[in-house]
Amino acid sequence: MSLPAATLASARRAAAARLAAGLGPDATPALDARLLVAGALGIAPDRLILVDDRELAQAESHAIDAAIERRLAGEPVARILGEKEFWGLSFHLADATLVPRPDTETLVEATLAWIDRTHGRDKPLRLLDIGTGTGAILIALLSELPRAIGLGVDLSGEAARAARDNAARLGFAERSLFVRGSWSACSGPVDVIVSNPPYIESGIISTLDREVRDHDPMLALDGGDDGLVAYRAILADLDRVMHPGGAAFFEIGHDQAQALASLAGESGLTVEVHRDLAGHDRVVELHRLTG
């Protein structure tokens, strides 16, 4: 005699209960269970509830168990699913890419606000994304700017490939180019530079949340002794690449606005700071002083 097959709803509740018991107090077990069950079954999360009564095949139950085990072992949901939503678009991840963070949408918003003020969204703008990772920032911008073109560079060839694949899957291949390379190999002029560079001080990497430290690539996190190495390199010769009337937008750590303001001041740039939804300083906007 075989056991009655579990329904999708009961499997989801059981998964949430296991996660609630096994993960810490900051966890989101119900949400994680919903995303992981949907991912294991290949169903869109918002459609899951419509098929709550469906009975699961044994292979499906196993796939759900495997995903829950990985989550209990500390792997982030996005890494298990292999994708993360950013700006309403789904980005595939690679080992060499950071998981796109909701806070980084602040960078996209600040950039679009500047474009709205200065050019308008229908202008043929040239964009450059330094350390593009999944390509999330650049592709989000292209999705809002119908005539813009963009170059994304990353020190990791695996990241550049992941970004290229994301652009192709999301329909932006013709307006984007993703290459392995460094800032020093970029040339301009471009109207907009965006970057979420590595900005964590090397000395505190070991204190980061385990899910970040163990699963995000060091190359995307480690900002050198003072966390500012990447910004300094870019600001040292921003004018080589940025059009005089252009602007640059960098994500920063919540306590780095002052440091960025002085670096920018030394380079004769004006600075505006933008906060994320949690109220933390998150993005600096830089312009060349004119006149």
The binding site for S-adenosyl-L-methionine consists of 131-135, 154, 183, 196
- Please select the residue that binds ligand GLN; options are 149, 212, 219, 233, rule is CB under 6 A: 212
Two structure tokens written together for 102: 């909701």
Choose the binding region for ligand GLN from 50-58, 87-95, 144-152, 198-206 (rule: CB under 6 A): 198-206
- The nearer residue to ligand GLN, 125 or 248, going by C-beta atoms, is 248
Stretch that binds ligand GLN, among 13-21, 43-51, 194-202, 241-249 (CB under 6 A): 194-202
Q: Which is nearer to ligand GLN, 65 or 158 (CB)?
A: 158
Distances from the Cα of 150 to the Cα of 62, 103, 130, 170, angstroms: 42, 22, 11, 14
Contacts of 9 (CB under 8 A, 6+ apart): 52, 53
Which residues are paired to 190 by β-bridges? 242
Residues in the interface with ligand GLN (CB under 6 A) total 9
Q: Within 8-156, where are the H helices?
A: 8-22, 29-41, 58-72, 77-81, 105-118, 136-144
Nearest 10 degrees: Cα torsion 168, 170, 174, 178: -60
What is the separation of C-alpha 133 from the centre of its chain, rounded to a whole number of angstroms? Answer: 8
Which range binds ligand GLN by CB under 6 A, 28-36, 179-187, 192-200, 236-244? 192-200
Which of positions 250-269 make contact with ligand GLN (CB under 6 A)?
Answer: 251
Q: What residues from 68 to 107 belong to the interface with ligand GLN (CB under 6 A)?
A: 101
> By CB under 6 A, is residue 199 in contact with ligand GLN?
yes
Select the span of 42-50, 119-127, 197-205, 270-278 touching ligand GLN (CB under 6 A): 197-205
CA 73 to chain centroid: 23
Q: What residues are designated binding site for substrate?
A: 196-199
Return the structure tokens found at 236: 């040292």
Which positions touch ligand GLN (CB under 6 A)? 101, 196-200, 212, 221, 251
